[in-house]
Amino acid sequence: MPVKVCAIVAMAENRVIGRGQEIPWKLPEDMRHFASLTTGHTVLMGRKTFQSLPPRFRPLPGRVNVVATRDPASLPGYSESVQTCASPQLYLEHAKAGKLNLSSNLIWIAGGAEIYRLTLAYWDELFLTLVEGAPEGDAIFPEFEEYFHLSSSESHAGFCFQHYERL
């Protein structure tokens, strides 16, 4: 079965996804949504995103955690529970070519902003939580709209779950 790459993100209306390595909102429903979609699969994220996870969720339980970093020594204590890769693009190319032993055919891209930007060309789908408002932030989600179409949307108070598929 071919490998599918899906990005998952919560983004404000102004494209902000983070501020100072923190998420600028608290949405328990979004955290549950993230867990329900990603559990049992591979989650690829950058070092800063991994280090920003609360300690009790680091590494993310029930998932293969792959951290993109040029310095695996920056993750002391996680060498047995976390895989690393120097290049997220090369990791995805190897996965799509069948060169990796994956736990499932699904890889989730979970941030941060630079990892999203570097991997955008590999995404088959995007699961976006669109958060109402325009908070200040220093992590901005890349523009993706010209490559994807909205396939479903589910509105909630203050946010909306959206699913996009590549054109």
Which pLDDT score, from 0 to 100, does residue 73 have? 87
Amino acid at the residue 144: F
CATH number of 109's domain: 3.40.430.10
Structural domains in the chain (count): 1
Which pLDDT score, from 0 to 100, does residue 79 have? 82
Which pLDDT score, from 0 to 100, does residue 90 have? 98
Domain of residue 26 covers 4-166
Which pLDDT score, from 0 to 100, does residue 110 have? 98
